[in-house]
Structure 1
């Protein structure tokens, strides 16, 4: 995403049409060609309105969606920063970080120092009394459960819920599905789901020996850290992604909004820690039942070559994340350099 922000002002000049009309791929240095259809939603459609200071906008205009213009404006100004702090691990994204540092995203312009200080995670000790989801996992075999959880704003319309239920049932694998209800009109955040109303008749009875549907908030970090979890169907929010890699859990990306389609592309095509799934962005990110079944089987089946490779790469990513925060690790050293630079901005090397 940082590479895209730095590159966006030049892309704006190079591409005459809206990106949603563009055929083919976008050149982001350090990455394979990125299909234009996977760019973040605010980038897809240009509005061609010159940016003005937000403080000068009339109150009604503050809520209008001119995000594309603002992204170009701020991408252009990133070169003025004293430095850029990134919640990532250098070993996870070496190609794109090298491209940024070499100036390939902003040819002819200054590149600020990049401080990769991730993964930034909240690793609190587990509560004395395990959560009900964790208690259920305690009774499951190692690496046998696929978790489905879609972030603080992730929920699905009833037709999609039916597809998910059928896909999970047909896959034959154990699952823990965090199913949330649609948000009310005044909020972007889901409600507790009415499970009986949303799920197919008889689904809970038929899957009770191998599945748990949880309708409320769930402790995702604790669940991902559990030995029983062997895969994660996720919206690809970056926090969730880092939590999964920290615990070595391979992924199936189901991006929903923001930069998640770009994250999903990187996880599959660059990092290799995920099994791809076809998500129809034009149908509100719809996934067909057969496609979810296929992706879960690919991720979880012992005989799946795709799943094996994703598990191997995720094990490597787990080691990279944990080594990075150890003393003399890449993130540890980046944080040391950052703190010295902030304490002595005129040249800490003299102290």
Structure 2
């Protein structure tokens, strides 16, 4: 971001929630702060720190060496096999994993808080889903705590209005659009068990005023935010991608190099989604029928420990003849793919996504149109903002039809709406323009630049 050089000495402890979209955002932000002179400590289980580092994209290979990783050992994780035939798409198989990790992290994190704050003030930045560490930090006067919110202001507002049954502010009816059952009851039980609310001095959000200025202003008036500083510092992921891995590039990037500019649809549904065989076959039919170039990441939802995952028999056996039928026009990646690199590539035009906020921010920042297919949690509301407010994408599957298998014809129709039809030209134009505005906001004088500078000034005064 090109900030002036400073002698930043106050240590910062970052504590992420152990799920990919959260690990990724908080590690990106840690690297951003580290690049401005702060000593950064990143603490999670050894398993999830490995996951965060292993999947990091966009930074030079040397960047993570500037961060002190506290790899906290934990006992074996509970079994966590995703269920492709679940009645909902929420990754319920991971709730016991999260529960176990948080339980085993609390005591080591408390010790780390005392150690790092013993000789100087300490800044704590934690995911709201890790509020246990916020409660412990509140008992130590030399610690100044900030929460890092991994969902946009729009979605946080919408949840607030839903839970309180508040009417929507005039002109913002979109905030109270009915989107029921985004999370199963067992997740709300999990939140209550781990005491989601904890004190803090301010909130960091991976968003920008370019994207959602009116919602940021409304959020600041809500009870949970009154009296707290809000810093909208997004995007935290790199905007100029550096291929930091040694060795050959991923084959999908070599394939993209051979495609025309802005001609490819990237299809990926995140790290927590597992689809039924029937739904996957319909997606394949839709992609084939559309006649458009594509990269499709076909993988199961994450398990608790990604280092122990092997190629799944289901992934390997699915759609074997499909690869041959679409050879030259489409590519199926079975397993992990370098998403940031794909979205930044000049051949990528659109992104069919589950609309996790990490994916939304990466896609919008790179100026690609979004084909939204929300699965759970914040995703339905993120998708609504993308399609109805920002108008940089189209809905593939409506939320009210979430329990149905979406037919290939609908997949084809959504792709053509963005890639072929006249209206798609305007959607892609708006997406490109939004990406330019987002990137401009991270440069000197831009809103995200100024917000990050304000946060740096705010925490530097404690030293």
Task: Tell me the TM-score normalized by structure 1.
Answer: 0.76
Would you say 1:143 and 2:262 are equivalent positions?
yes
Partner of 1:295, secondary structure, is helix
Separation of aligned partners in 1, 2:286 and 2:193? 40
What is the SS of the residue equivalent to 1:147?
strand
Q: CA deviation at 1:287?
A: 2.3
Assess, with a 3 A threshold, how the Cα gap between structure 1 residues 2 and 280 changes in structure 2: closer, same or farther: closer
Match of 1:119 among 235, 238, 241: 235
Name the SS for the 1:230 alignment partner.
strand
Distance 1:157 1:190 in 2: 19
Tell whether the 8 Å contact from 1:275 to 1:295 is kept in structure 2 after alignment: yes
Would the aligned equivalents of 1:85 and 1:115 in 2 still touch at CA under 8 Å? yes
Cα offset, 1:32, TM superposition = 3.4
Q: How far apart are 1:300 and its partner, in Å?
A: 0.8
Q: Is the 8 A contact 1:230 1:250 kept in 2?
A: yes
Residue 350 of structure 2: which of 231, 234, 257 is its match?
231
Once superposed, what is the RMSD of the aligned Cα atoms? 3.4
Q: Which runs of 5+ in 1 are unaligned?
A: 16-25, 46-62
- 1:304 matches 2:429: no
| Alignment equivalent of 1:333, drawn from 433, 450, 453 | 450
SS at match of 1:33: helix
CA contact (8 A) 1:232 1:249 kept: yes
| Matching residue within 197, 200, 223 for 2:317 | 197
Provide, for residues 236-287 of structure 1, a one-character-per-residue CA deviation record: whole Å limited to 9, x for no partner: 1111111111211111011112201110000001111111222455644742
| 1:98 and 2:217 are equivalent in the alignment | yes
User: Structure 1 residues 5 and 211 mapped into 2: Cα distance closer, same or farther (>3 Å)?
Assistant: closer
Is contact 1:100–1:111 with CA below 8 Å preserved after alignment? no
Alpha-carbon distance in structure 1 between the residues aligned to 2:438 and 2:317: 41
Give CA-to-partner distance per residue, 1:139-177, whole Å, 9 cap, x none: 111111111011122331100111001111111111111
Asked if 1:27 corresponds to 2:27, the answer is no
Q: In 1, distance between residues paired with 2:158 and 2:336? A: 37
Cα–Cα, structure 1 residues 318 and 3, in superposed 2: closer, same or farther, change >3 Å?
closer
Q: How far is 1:330 from its partner?
A: 0.9
1:245 to 359, 364, 380: 364
- Name the CA distance, whole Å, in 2 between partners of 1:64 and 1:235: 19
Q: State the number of aligned residues.
A: 308
Q: How far does residue 185 in structure 1 lie from its aligned partner after superposition?
A: 9.8
Q: Please state how far the C-alpha of 1:328 moved relative to its aligned partner.
A: 1.7
Change (3 A) 1:143 1:190: farther
Kept in 1, the 8 Å contact 2:154–2:212? The answer is no
Aligned pairs for 1:8-157 within 5 A = 11-14=162-165, 27=168, 31-34=172-175, 36-38=177-179, 41-42=182-183, 65-67=188-190, 74=197, 81-101=200-220, 103=221, 105-106=222-223, 110-122=226-238, 124-126=241-243, 127=245, 129-157=248-276
Residues 5 and 71, structure 1, Cα contact 8 Å, conserved in 2? no
CA contact under 8 A between 1:181 and 1:190: conserved in structure 2?
A: no
Residues 125 and 314 of structure 1: CA distance in aligned 2, closer, same or farther (over 3 Å): same
Report whether the alignment pairs 1:343 with 2:460: yes
Determine if contact 2:266/2:295 at 8 Å carries over to the other structure.
yes
Give the unaligned 5+ runs of structure 2.
Answer: 1-151
More off after superposition, 146-155 vs 120-129: 120-129
Question: Normalising by the residue count of structure 2, what TM-score does the alignment of the two structures yield?
Answer: 0.59
Give the corresponding residue for 1:322.
Answer: 439
Which residue in the other structure is 2:298 paired with?
Answer: 179
Cα 1:249–1:14, aligned 2, differ >3 Å: closer, same or farther? Answer: closer
SS in 1 for 2:211: coil
1:171/1:64 CA distance change after superposition, 3 Å: closer
C-alpha separation in 2, matches of 1:238 and 1:247: 14
Aligned partner of 1:19 in structure 2 is none
